[in-house]
Structure 1
Amino acid sequence: LLLLGPILLSGSRASWVTYAFVLAIFLWREAGSWRRFALWSAAATLLGALALGAAWQTSTRFDARMRRTLLALKGSEHGINAALSGRLTIWADAGRMIAANPWTGVGVRGFRYAYPRYAKPGDPFVNHPDDQGAYYAHQIVLEILSESGVLGMALWTLGTLLAWRMWRRAPAHARALAWPAGIAVLAAVFPFNTTLAFYSAWWGLLFWWLLALWIGALGTAPATDARAHPAAAIGARGARLSRPNTLA
């Protein structure tokens, strides 16, 4: 709850969606029943509405973001595109890339270079001096399909299935250890949100680092008594060393 204020005031709508997604998962995990989950969700929604109202009245940046977001209520394509900061244009061009290069895409990190070939005249994201366009698709599924095609999506899907299988087979103690990193991984790949470029340097490194933490935690062996009590382990080792050598 302490993070709600800074996240709202940041003006990042993708962060708002991520916060709501993670909060919903935590509420479901702790609730244990549909009824309690519904009650806690209603309370969280009320608290979020109060925080939203306070931010709307006190932050000019938040007010500007909300005014832009509300343009989507007009129902027109122009209004929705304006509310999404022009991402409908980028997604439409990504769709044309996918249709033209369905199997292997335009190549990893090739989105910006291929963009002008699929953009309509007057596209605001085309940089004519550099002959480049938008840097990436701003949505994970479109990014994978446009840059690595159906083959890349098939490999991502296979990896997802293997991860689910590993989670299902892991013991309870390993799941508990892997839970924090797992939530971060889920938030990073949540498809109903705008995302950063997965094939970029820093975001890709962060994602794979989180995934490595999750896999490592799932493979953790249960703690034995000696591991749980290092002093006892040291005492047992000392006792073994102090035994007389019967072979001497």
Structure 2
Amino acid sequence: MATAVTTAPVLARGTDVRDRARRAGALAPVLAVIALLLVPGGGGAQGGTGGTGTVADAASGLLVVVCLVRLLRGGARPLTVTAAVVLGLPVVGVCLAAVTSHDPASSLPGVARYLQVFVLVPAAVLLTVRDRRDFAVVAWGLVAFALFQGAVGVVQYLTGTGASYQGEDVRAVGTFGATDVMGMATVVAYGLVVVTGIALGSGAGRARTAALVCAGLLVVPLVLSFSRGAWIATVLACGLQLLLGGVRRAVRVTLVVGALAVVLVGGLGIGSSMVEERVTSITRVTAAPDQSVTDRYTMWAAAGRMWRSEPLTGVGLKGFPHYRDSNASVALSSGSDTAGAGAGYQKQPLLSPHNMYLLVLSEQGLIGLLALAGSWLALLVGALRRRRAGADCALVAGGLLAWQLIDFFYADIGGPSTVLMSVVLGLAAWWALAPEGAAGPGEVRGA
């Protein structure tokens, strides 16, 4: 009898350890994609379907292969009909645009990139994540990566080793370098949205406390990224999360955040003059836009002209750079200047309109835009519909999707950080499309 009493807890602990080991092994391909973004890539922020070929991209391919092997061996569930339709919608527009392209051969790399980012990797993540604990592991993995990138970015600002901004090497870009200035801002914004969802959807306890601490830490590098698009998307996405979490709480949190902003920027002077100038520039986008805004407006207009020439199927994948000059006005500059963060002066070519919706509309036409946007909206609706099954997961998934859909008005795919977006879409897709049994009650507390 005594033996039974003493050995039972040991057996239970052993079982728990084995369960954790199996869980870590199953999620290792997903976590590897996140971790390997630390390896420098040579793609830069090319925009559109450029910037491929990083180690993280290779890891995402391995994730798809591993998932396929598990499916063939019967070790993983297949996609539901709804999930297959929602995730498969982008295939229609992508393939149609490639077939009708004036140069189908040059469109093939674009086909591979779109299928990787919007179909294959999200589907693989959806199939790999099995329950809310897996969801928590990947979500906190995103936060850990954001904290690391943010810490590097803050050090860059304090030591003057960041990317060049207004003649000073102070722009926080993390390990992504000056050629992908949106990389760190995107990663940090993802982490901030995740911890905001956890803090609002979890009960009082260690999970909420950890989330609040992480949120406070991540705000600083996001500000020091000087990324207007990331600021706007984060404010709106977190605002949506606050409203979904309750109006009264939203008012209280807004007041606290406003007070902290005054202390950090006004009182402590964290990037005060530069931040003030950058915030003010948001309101001057029509009255007195800088050259980057002028270039963006010019490329938006060029994308609109391309779409009008081929309204249903567009000019073809990877066609924007080819048709840009014939559709753009003389206001377009030759490229954007980058320097700092360990790199010399470079001029980055403007190969996309820096608006995902206009990029898809110009290259894939109305059919492609409806297919892609329809898939994204279906995920967002599905994620928010499940709020009663778990407020924290719903707020995390809904917030990430909202952030991405808003950010797409100012950015598109391109650069090493793009593969992380596919992981985020897959994580949100699991909550929106997974069978009801897998998304049962509980909280995102971690592994």
Segments of 5+ residues of structure 1 without an aligned counterpart are 225-248
Correspondence 1:168-179 to 2 at 5 A: 170=386, 172-173=388-389, 176-177=392-393, 179=395
Distance, in Å, in 2 between the alignment partners of 1:134 and 1:3 is: 30
Bigger drift between 20-29 and 9-18 goes to 20-29
Q: Using the alignment, how far apart are the partners of 2:400 and 2:230 within structure 1?
A: 13
Is the 2:315–2:362 Cα contact (8 Å) retained in structure 1? yes
Q: Residue 393 of structure 2 contacts residue 431 of structure 2 at CA under 8 Å; is this kept in 1?
A: yes
**Contact 2:312 2:366 (8 Å CA) reproduced:** yes
| CA distance in 1 between partners of 2:241 and 2:325 (Å) | 42
Q: Tell me how far 1:192 sits from its aligned partner.
A: 7.4
2:427 to 208, 213, 225: 213
Residue 114 of structure 1 corresponds to which residue in structure 2?
Answer: 323
Judged with a 3 Å threshold, the aligned counterparts in structure 2 of structure 1 residues 165 and 5 are, in CA distance, closer, same or farther, namely closer
Counterpart contact for 1:111–1:147, Cα < 8 Å: yes
Q: Deviation of residue 69 (structure 1)? A: 5.5
What's 2:277 paired with? Answer: 67
Q: Deviations for 1:58-96, whole angstroms, at most 9, x for unmatched residues? A: 53xx7446436645656865x124473632222222222
SS in structure 1 at match of 2:428: helix
In the superposition, relative to structure 1, how do residues 37 and 181 fare at CA in structure 2: closer, same or farther (>3 Å)? closer
SS of residue in 1 equivalent to 2:237 = helix
| CA distance 1:133–1:113, change in 2 (3 Å) | farther
Q: Give the corresponding residue for 1:146.
A: 362
Unaligned runs of 5+ residues in structure 2 are 1-215, 337-347, 441-447
State the Cα distance separating 1:139 from its structure 2 match: 1.5
Counterpart position of 1:42: 255
Give, in angstroms, the shift of residue 172 of structure 1: 3.2
Residue 18 of structure 1 deviates from its aligned partner by 2.8
1:163-242 paired onto structure 2 within 5 Å: 163-164=379-380, 166-167=382-383, 170=386, 172-173=388-389, 176-177=392-393, 179-190=395-406, 193-195=409-411, 197-198=412-413, 200=414, 202-218=416-432, 219=434, 221-222=437-438
- Is 2:249 aligned against 1:24? no
Deviations 1:22-66 (A, max 9, x none): 331332243x2x3442343233233324433357x453xx74464
- Aligned partner of 2:228 in structure 1 is 13
SS where residue 194 of structure 1 aligns? coil
Judging changes above 3 Å, is the alpha-carbon distance between structure 1 residues 169 and 40 closer, same or farther for their aligned structure 2 residues?
closer
If each structure's strand is expressed as a fraction of its own residues, which one has the higher value? Answer: 2
Q: Which secondary structure state, in structure 2, belongs to the residue aligned with residue 134 of structure 1? A: coil
Write the letter of the residue equivalent to 2:393: L
Aligned length: 212
Counterpart of 2:295 in structure 1 is: 86
1:175-218: per-residue Cα shift (whole Å, max 9, x none)?
A: 643542442232112157412x23x4745533332222222234
Task: Please give the alpha-carbon distance, in whole angstroms, between the structure 1 residues aligned to 2:327 and 2:429.
Answer: 39
Aligned mates of 2:335, 2:325 — CA distance in 1: 6
Q: Secondary structure at the match of 1:80?
A: coil
Matched residue SS, 2:421: helix
The whole-number CA distance in structure 1 between the counterparts of 2:253 and 2:289 is 31
Query: Displacement, 1:161?
Result: 4.6
Say if 2:228 and 2:278, in contact at 8 Å, map to a contact too: no
CA distance in 1 between partners of 2:352 and 2:289 (Å): 20
Post-superposition offset of 1:150: 0.5
Give the greater-gyration-radius structure (CA). Answer: 1
Give the alignment's TM-score, normalised by structure 1: 0.67
Give the C-alpha shift of residue 134 in structure 1: 1.9
Q: Deviations over 1:97-128 (max 9, x none)?
A: 2222222222222222211111223631379x
Paired amino acid for 1:18: A
- Structure 1 residues 90 and 52: CA distance shift in structure 2, 3 A: farther
Describe the shift of the 1:66–1:140 C-alpha distance in structure 2 as closer, same or farther (beyond 3 A). Answer: farther
| Aligned residue in 1 for 2:71 | none
The code of the aligned residue for 1:92 comes to A
- Picking from 343, 352, 358, the partner of 1:136 is 352
Q: Distance in 1 between matches of 2:387 and 2:276?
A: 44
State, as a whole percentage, how many aligned pairs show the same letter.
23
Change (3 A) 1:184 1:154: same
Q: Which residue of 273, 298, 308 corresponds with 1:99?
A: 308
In the alignment, the residues of structure 2 paired with residue 24 and residue 116 of structure 1 have an alpha-carbon distance, to the nearest angstrom, of 39
Match for 1:113: what amino acid? H
